[in-house]
Structures are given as structure tokens and as C-alpha cells.
Structure 1
Amino acid sequence: MDYRILPVTPFQQNCTLFWCERTRRAAIIDPGGEPERILALIAELNLEPERILLTHGHLDHVGASGDLAERLGLPIVGPHPDDAFLIHALPAQCQMFGFPPVRDFEPDQWLQQGDIVNVGEERLEVLHCPGHTPGHVVFVDAANGLAQVGDVLFRGSIGRTDFPRGNHRQLIDSIQQRLFALGDAVRFIPGHGPMSTIGHERRANPYLRG
């Protein structure tokens, strides 16, 4: 599996392309906005997108999903159904954050803990990691020691829990019970900012000490 990170929108959210190196088939993960930039990168890399994957329902992670799904004829997969209330409230999210309206959509498939998503000949395991939102999921490429963790964990920080239905205790449990279990060597792509490893955050993240 190869990948490329493209920060989009004023929130600098990490939209990520994951692709199978043999087939060039790709997943677009968390296309939060700026669809033209995402399409240009897909063309530059000569990829064949086959699905859109969503970690959670916040506007800055899903804003371009409906547009890209329609233009490319792709299914939208994820997040967990507990985030349906956020996706159904996208117009309100746009007003709240001063964003132009985005195309409404309904995911073609909701995800559950332990599901497998194929990208070409590669496999991503789904972890349900609530806390930042109740339906947040993480995508794990176990074969290559790589994870897309959305807004659960960051380099030196953790996800906010002061949004509707956020839960700090759930977030810490998700990190300690599910992300830490992946092993210290696993690299992860967060929803914002630079990559890190599980081991670095286990040892040095000030929000996870004790």
C-alpha cells in the first residue's frame, strides 16, 4: 500500500489517498473539501479511485464526499452508523463554520468494528474508536504497519471531545485499548498535522500519561 496526504480546507484536514501499488486502485479517505485539488492529485498519480472512506462525520472530513462520489461514480463507505446524525446535519455544520453549502449524501455502507475494506489487492481493517465522535472509525493497513486514525490521535495531542456527543473517557479507552494494541512500530496518519507512531505517542504524548 502506498499513500499521499493532501491537507485541504482552512482546517488543513488531511485528505489521504491510499492505493494498491500493483493495480493502482485507490481509496479517497476523508475528502473534506477542495475536490478539484483532490482530482488533480489523483490524475497526477495515475490512480483509479474505487471508493470514498470516511473516518467520521465532521464537515472538514466529509465536505467533498457527495461531489466526488457523483462525479466519479464511487460508493461512500463509513463511518460507523452512530455518526449518522452528523452527516444528516451537514447543512447546519456549514452554517456553523461559515462554509458554503455542500452536497448532501447518504453513505452506501456503514462500517462496524472488525469490518474489512479492500483497496485493490490490499486490505484495511476497521476499528470503531468512539470518543471524538460516537461513530469514529480507524482504517488499519496491518500488512504495512500503517493506520489512518482521523481525529482520534495526533502527534502530541488527542481528539477534542467538546463537540456534540463527544466523550473523553471513550476517546482514551479507544486509544489505549485499540490503537495501542496495534503495536509501537505502527505509523499513523492523523486527521490534521504530521504523522507519528503509536510508540512515540504511548511514551511522549502528554494527554496519555498515567
Structure 2
Amino acid sequence: MSDRLKTHLQTLPAFELDALRLDRWNEVATVAGQFNADTETIRRLLQEIRPKHKADRFEWLQAVCQRHDIGVRALRTAVAIFSFAGDTGYIWPSQRSLAHRAGYGDDAEIRRGLASLVAIGAIRKLRIVNMPEQLAEAALTSAKNGGSGRSARGTAYALTPPADWSKKCNTGTLCPSADRDTVSLLNLQGKPQQASPDVSSYSGASTINIEYAESSVMGNDRRKARG
């Protein structure tokens, strides 16, 4: 009987296992009645099949930290998300809670960090009511009854497996240019071209290029040295 019960528990979705571990509405007693088992046996089996400390959220955070196309704000946001994440891969804290956990006093910083993570496909935004039923119920239940007290219109976030992240680097919008040093050199060319052949010099002033400026400075330095 114990083996059959363990097999049953292993086939349950993650959110149902989370609900059993929380046991807010006597789910453990319900399962115990179905299998003629005692509640302590079910809790022991739940502990046995609990994922070890190599859950998806650890791999997710490691993958985020290895990205070179996001900034410090997105990394701090990812760490805050990780601190709320459990085995289910869903979280539903408010932006204010995420900002506090990330060390920001302004919620706008978290919104920018979340936008960066959404852009690379690391997280997916959804309504709380669209989460798995048990998780949505836990999020919407009032705090005094053991829930989170969130609104049905609130936003939740799902951690996306790194293998499914979009390849945003191909768009060139998030990655720094690989030729940025070359671009900088081109912007410092000795004889910059006129922006448009139809545009004359401002107020008739004569143009001066870098070569002339450099020779003038060197000449002034030589005169100072002789003096």
C-alpha cells in the first residue's frame, strides 16, 4: 500500500504536491482516507519525494547570472524573484515586495528589471487567476486565513526554463555592439564629414578639424617650452 501511495504522489502535479505540504484545507486527511493510510505516512512520503536542492529555480538563477546582455537592475530583480520562488515555478508578490527584497525604494526600478527579464524570455507574466487552481486559491485567499490576499487582477510570474528563452541577442536591442570600439574610433575620425551637403556652416563660421586643432596645441606648447 505504501508503494502504491508513493507512486500516486509522484504522479501528482507540482502545485498539488505544494497544496498537500501546506495542508491548509486538510488535503492530507483526504488523501489518507482514499488510501486507508495515516497522515504521518503521507507526510513522510511527501518528504521523501521532495525535490533535492537542484530545483529548476536554481538552474534558472544561474542561467540569468550568466547572461551578459542584461544589467545589474535585472540581476537584482532576478535574485528577488528567486527568493520568492518555490518548487512550482510560480510567484505572485507585489512589485513593492519585489522592490523591497531587491533593495530598491522605487517600484519603477523593479518594473524596468521585470521588463528586461520578460524581454529575454526568462519570465512570463500572467494574471493570478490564470495560475494553477490551487496556487491561485492560495494567492487570493485573505491573509488572515493563511493566504496572500492578492487581487484577482494582480500579476503573477512564471519562471521559464532557460532552454525556452528567446534569442534576443539576434535583434541587437539588448546586446552591446561587438564593434563598439571601432564605432568609437570612427566617431573620432580626423576629418568628420559634413552632415548634409545642403547644410552650410553655422553663421558662416569657418570649420576647424582635429588635425588643425592638434597642430595649434602643439605649436602653443613649443612656444611655451622656448619661453
- With normalisation by structure 2, the TM-score equals 0.28
Which structure dedicates a bigger proportion of its chain to strand? 1
- Higher-Rg structure is 2
Which structure dedicates a bigger proportion of its chain to helix? 2
- With normalisation by structure 1, the TM-score equals 0.29
